[in-house]
Amino acid sequence: MLLVIDIGNTNIVFGVYRKKRLLHSWRKVTDKKVILDTYVKDFSREFDFKKIRKEEICGIEISCVVPSLLPAFKRFCSYFFSINPSVVIPGKNTDIRILCDNPLEVGADRIVNAVAGYSKYGGPLIITDFGTATTFDVISIKGEYLGGVIVPGMGISAEALFERAEKLPLVKSLRPDKVVGKNTVESIRSGLFFGAIGQIKEIISRIKKEIKISPKIIFTGGYAELMKKEMKGTVVDSLLTLEGLRLIYEKNRLLG
């Protein structure tokens, strides 16, 4: 079995594969203060729930955009599984051509998504990932990573309003019933949601004009299902990153 771990700024997502089949996945809020014992307890509970034995794990692939957490996860993998995990390094072990000024600075999760997206859907693609940031990644018809766009996610925008404007409350991002809010919470919620929708449509429209070809649009991440309702013709693939980690692990294992 293969364990895949996607370490993000907001959440850490885990998945266990038997060959190509995802047996179990779960997520935890990212916390830089979590100690080793906590991960041991969490994994023991999740494995017991799905009747998975830790001895069945024979490989581990990690994608990480929080460098300060990577050493702790490497120690955990060594302690709990007696396995030295493989870590995704964009431009080095991902088997995808990255046409950027500095491939090493591209987020590992974005390259992992590109690998999975192209494998599942072909190209060209625009993959929009709704995480801490909302990212737009462009993959060519040949499977090349062309670059992308990064904007603050709705969660960050909500927190910024709360932190910088003394009278404004912290609002959870949900789809409002109307554009015109009748109170402060409704007004913020409308601005967050419809502002994001307008931003997404405009960015995707401009990408299409720039690459001069009509791509498939893939949504993934926390708000993917919510946003799909506003964007016709999109595909939601919430487990895209986990699948990309599996593919990268398998390709590297075959290459030796």
Angle at which helix 108-121 crosses helix 240-255, to 10 degrees, equals 90
pLDDT at 256: 56
The stretches in the chain having pLDDT less than 50 are none
pLDDT at 84: 95
Domain ranges for the chain? 2-87, 124-237
Does 124-237 match 2-87 at the fold level? yes
Strands 125-130 and 86-87: unpaired
Our answer to whether residue 31 is catalytic in this structure is no
Phi, psi of 129 (to 5 degrees): -110, 120
- Record the pTM: 0.91
Contact by Cβ (8 Å): 203, 136: yes
pLDDT at 255: 62
CATH number of 2-87: 3.30.420.40
6, 37, 109, 237: which is the annotated catalytic residue?
109
CATH number of 124-237: 3.30.420.40
pLDDT at 229: 85
